[in-house]
Amino acid sequence: MILDGAAAPLYLQLADLFRQRITKGVWKEGEKLPSLEQLVAEFEVARVTVRQAIERLTRDGLVSPQRGRGTFVTGAPRSDRWLRVETRLKNLADVYRDTQPTILNIDATESSSRSPRLREEDGVAAPKYAYMRRVHAHEGRPYCVIDIYLDAEIFARHPKRFRDETVIPLLTSMPSVKIVTARQVLTISTADVEVAHHLQVPVNAPVADVRRVFTGPRRRVIYLAEVTYRGDFVQVEFDLKA
């Protein structure tokens, strides 16, 4: 049994599988899909389940059933993998320039006691941090939820701009801020209920978690971010060293 009866409805699982075949070119544009009987036999599901899956793709404009001839591929899903996981600080700043941030929570008061969970290899903590939890959107579509801890001394220099703009482009443009080291770690995870709500994805959908740390002089941690990206927006590309 290829499909999981305990997960999403079978026809939705089947529609996603068909969509992947079209995306990967297994079923190319203009080609005819296998017959209803062949798909029923391959996936061991009822005929109505296959019909519902095909109806789903028909509404998405990916296939077109033609009476007496069968169902043909008429298009490919839109590629949303525009978000590259950058390995250079300048390129990372460029990624965020066209981002629209929405603040979910902020604590930048003098009495703020929020501080990031630092590891020994991260560096030395600043006396205080400004904290922000935000959703970043690109072309009106949310692509990440981010928790930011920014050195309070730096935040105090441009509090309004740090609230309204994305942090990294602003941070890298400040002559008074020296970033000595910048490091990030990416892991693959799944969306919990809150993250799924903010990113408009199903619960347990694949996501990419990134932990990003910038230090200034004397190993002072001036910026720490914990970011969760939509998995279907992310691509990782890098050169392999010989």
Residue 65 has pLDDT above 60, yes or no: yes
CATH number for the domain formed by residue range(s) 83-235: 3.40.1410.10
The CA distance from 204 to 174, in Å, is 39
Q: Fold match between 10-73 and 83-235?
A: no
Instruction: List, for residues 138-189, the tens digit of each pLDDT value.
Output: 888 898 999 999 999 999 999 999 999 999 999 999 999 999 999 999 999 9
> At the top level of CATH, which class does the domain 10-73 belong to?
mainly alpha
Over residues 24-44, mean pLDDT? 91
Under the banding of pLDDT at 50, 70 and 90, the label for residue 202 is: confident
pLDDT above 70 as % of the chain = 91
Return the domain boundaries, the chain.
Answer: 10-73, 83-235
Indicate the pTM of the whole model. Answer: 0.71
- Give residue-wise pLDDT tens across range 85-132: 666 778 777 777 778 899 999 998 777 778 899 999 999 999 999 999
Which tokens go with 227? Answer: 């970011």
